[in-house]
With several copies, the nearest count.
Chain A
Amino acid sequence: MSKVDSRLAVNLAGLQLNSPVMTASGTFGFGLEFRDFLDLNRVGAVMVKGTTLAPRAGNSGQRAVETPAGMLNCIGLENPGVDKFLNETLPQLREYDTQVIVNIAGATEDEYARLAEKLTVPGVAALELNISCPNVKQGGIAFGTCPESASGVVRAVRNATDKLVITKLSPNVTDIVAMAKATVEAGSDILSLINTLIGMKIDIDRRRPVLGNVIGGLSGPAIRPVAVRMVYQVAQAVDVPIIGMGGIMTTEDALEFILAGASAVAIGTGNFVEPELAERMADELSAYLDKTGTASITELIGAALPERQTREGGGCTC
């Protein structure tokens, strides 16, 4: 079961993957950390940790804590900076037959554009724009919370590179469909969703927030219903491929996203619990195709979506 199964191949706007199972940014280091646990050649793509122009030390204090069926993190984008990534990490990653997607974050549009320029090198398959970070020019409000500022980032990157541009949407918005449409219009080739929900936890003994940063990003199975809903809604509204993520722990979970309209999926928090998951899931997807007599995983993409015309859902949810 460890050979590449061509029925699992997917093509996302030109991004060719051996397996629809990738690993989400910030949850898989730079990929190399997992060499002892799985065969990197079996991972569709490695989305590396959020990378910034200058190295960042990240937040101080406690950076993660478990919550019911999930966890909060406030790493604060600790990373060695784009230059070190290009010089030291990328050459090692390129030895594997997996696609390298670089997740980038900036505090201004210009920072995103400069990152994109620097990363327009062989071996980088696509750039994933993390727009959940605070926009310093707009008083620290995240780029990803309004269609205009998100589009600005996408356009800046679009003009700076001919690499595939993936925009990673934040779920902390009133209207995910509006965000999706705006960022596609601004030039995104692919959308990733979802990033983490903003949450926090209080230590009742110390009577203080547990995390050093007070608030953090909620990930894991707890958020899966929100993620599936957003993928399902966005898949009906835009024509670009979607990478679905949020709480994927099993092959059934991955299928749920694919049926909701995702062309590929990414494992995040699941990598912490079962570091071999991305490889095992590829095997299990092959077995599922066998069992159901499905010729290609692509047949399943969006299979649970309604006909485009029928507007479904949206009634009273309580």
Chain B
Amino acid sequence: MGKVKTLGDKRRFSATLVQQQQMNHDVYRMVLSAPEIAAMIKPGQFLQLKTGRLMDPLLRRPISIADADDGEGTLQLVYRVVGEGTKYLAGLQQGAEIDILGPLGNGFTLQGERPLIVGGGMGIAPLLYLVRALCPKPVDVLLAGREASELFWIKLFAERCQAVHVTTDDGSLGTKGNALALLPQLLAQGQYDMLYTCGPDPMMEAVAKEAAKHGVPCQVSLERYMACGIGACLSCSCGAKDGSRKKVCTDGPVFWAEEVML
């Protein structure tokens, strides 16, 4: 462990799996030893992981940084098993080597004194590392999930956040409803001067609108199908409000809400 060799270029590394933990029926948390990446990576950036021995799957899979510890040289990834690539990751044992490109993309802009964070579903992953970077600012977080088991996140955030607010679609935990069931009142009451959000596009769109209404600057972190993750293929393109196109992988994945169309 701790041994990370580069694979011959400047942003391709071999990381060692230190720990694998199952968080709920289909979500796993992985700790990797990758000191070179841990030293560079910023909240909101992501990695491209090779998820197979040969060409099946062929393309890498993009995964966000859920946490990084420069001192220990470790990274944390939290991922849901949805297909063969993530199934492969979940099957890896301690000591396994993973071929990684990264850090990739642009991270969040750290600004404001009283940030609010709104995360939905697997979009919560990159926000945990963001909270660490925002410390010691007092951060509040609003986590939205379909049901209670999706919100194993709470205790991870609780250590670092001032307040953790929760909504679930089925009401099995916290307020019943989606993030919007709570957000307007949080924005009205709190003195937030910055909002960060990551989750499904419709959620982020509504969150951004609400933030605008309250004059709070807002950054969104987008997810698009990515073939390369490094700006080469244009498969991740999204429309910018100025009519141009942005690459989610290299221009983003984090954008100012007013820059892009969700």
Binding site for B on A (CB under 8 A): 26-29, 33-34, 36-38, 49, 57-58, 60, 62-66, 68-71, 73, 75, 78, 220-221, 249, 269, 271-276, 279-280
The interface residues of chain A lying within 8 Å CB-to-CB of B9 are 36-38, 275-276, 279
Asked if B59 lies at the interface with its beta carbon under 8 angstroms from chain A, I say: yes
Residue among A26, A62, A269, A280 making CB contact with B58, cutoff 8 Å: A269
On whether the beta carbons of B227 and A64 are closer than 8 Å, the reply is yes
Q: Which chain B residues numbered 47 to 64 have a C-beta less than 8 Å away from chain A?
A: 50, 55-60
A68 to B52, CA, bound (A): 13
List 27 contacting pairs A-B, 8 Å CB cutoff, sorted by A: A27-B228, A29-B233, A37-B12, A37-B101, A38-B9, A58-B234, A58-B245, A63-B225, A63-B234, A63-B235, A63-B237, A64-B226, A66-B59, A68-B55, A69-B56, A73-B233, A75-B234, A75-B237, A221-B58, A249-B55, A271-B232, A272-B227, A273-B58, A274-B12, A275-B230, A276-B7, A276-B12
On whether the beta carbons of B58 and A66 are closer than 8 Å, the reply is yes
Chain B 201-234 near chain A by CB (<8 Å), digits 1 or 0: 0000000000000000000000001111111111
Asked if B8 lies at the interface with its beta carbon under 8 angstroms from chain A, I say: yes
On whether the beta carbons of A273 and B60 are closer than 8 Å, the reply is yes
Indicate the member of A33, A64, A66, A272 with the most B CB atoms within 10 Å. Answer: A272
CB contact under 8 A between A71 and B58, given known A33-B230, A57-B245, A78-B234: yes
Q: How far is the CB of B56 from chain A (nearest CB, A)?
A: 7
A281 to B231, CA, bound (A): 21
On whether the beta carbons of B230 and A34 are closer than 8 Å, the reply is yes
Q: Which chain B residues numbered 217 to 262 have a C-beta less than 8 Å away from chain A?
A: 225-237, 239, 243, 245, 250
On whether the beta carbons of B233 and A75 are closer than 8 Å, the reply is yes
A75 to B247, CA, bound (A): 12
On whether the beta carbons of B225 and A64 are closer than 8 Å, the reply is yes
CB contact under 8 A between A36 and B57, given known A63-B234, A75-B235: no
A65 to B225, CA, bound (A): 8
Binding site for A on B (CB under 8 A): 7-12, 50, 55-60, 101, 225-237, 239, 243, 245, 250
- The main secondary structure of chain A at its interface with chain B is loop
On whether the beta carbons of A272 and B228 are closer than 8 Å, the reply is yes
Residue among B226, B232, B236 making CB contact with A33, cutoff 8 Å: B232
On whether the beta carbons of A273 and B50 are closer than 8 Å, the reply is yes
Going nearest first, the 5 A-B pairs with the smallest beta carbon separation are: A64-B235, A276-B9, A272-B228, A33-B231, A64-B227
On whether the beta carbons of A73 and B232 are closer than 8 Å, the reply is no
A71 to B55, CA, bound (A): 12
On whether the beta carbons of B235 and A28 are closer than 8 Å, the reply is no
A315 to B91, CA, bound (A): 40
On whether the beta carbons of A276 and B8 are closer than 8 Å, the reply is yes
Q: How far is the CB of A273 from chain B (nearest CB, A)?
A: 6
A29 to B55, CA, bound (A): 23
A280 to B235, CA, bound (A): 25
Residue among B57, B58, B232, B236 making CB contact with A34, cutoff 8 Å: B232
Q: How far is the CB of A51 from chain B (nearest CB, A)?
A: 13
On whether the beta carbons of A64 and B233 are closer than 8 Å, the reply is yes
A275 to B11, CA, bound (A): 9
Q: How far is the CB of A101 from chain B (nearest CB, A)?
A: 16
A38 to B9, CA, bound (A): 6
Residue among B12, B50, B56 making CB contact with A275, cutoff 8 Å: B12
A29 to B230, CA, bound (A): 9
Q: How far is the CB of B70 from chain A (nearest CB, A)?
A: 20
The interface residues of chain A lying within 8 Å CB-to-CB of B231 are 29, 33
On whether the beta carbons of B233 and A27 are closer than 8 Å, the reply is yes
The interface residues of chain B lying within 8 Å CB-to-CB of A38 are 9
On whether the beta carbons of A280 and B8 are closer than 8 Å, the reply is yes
Residue among B7, B59, B101, B229 making CB contact with A71, cutoff 8 Å: B59
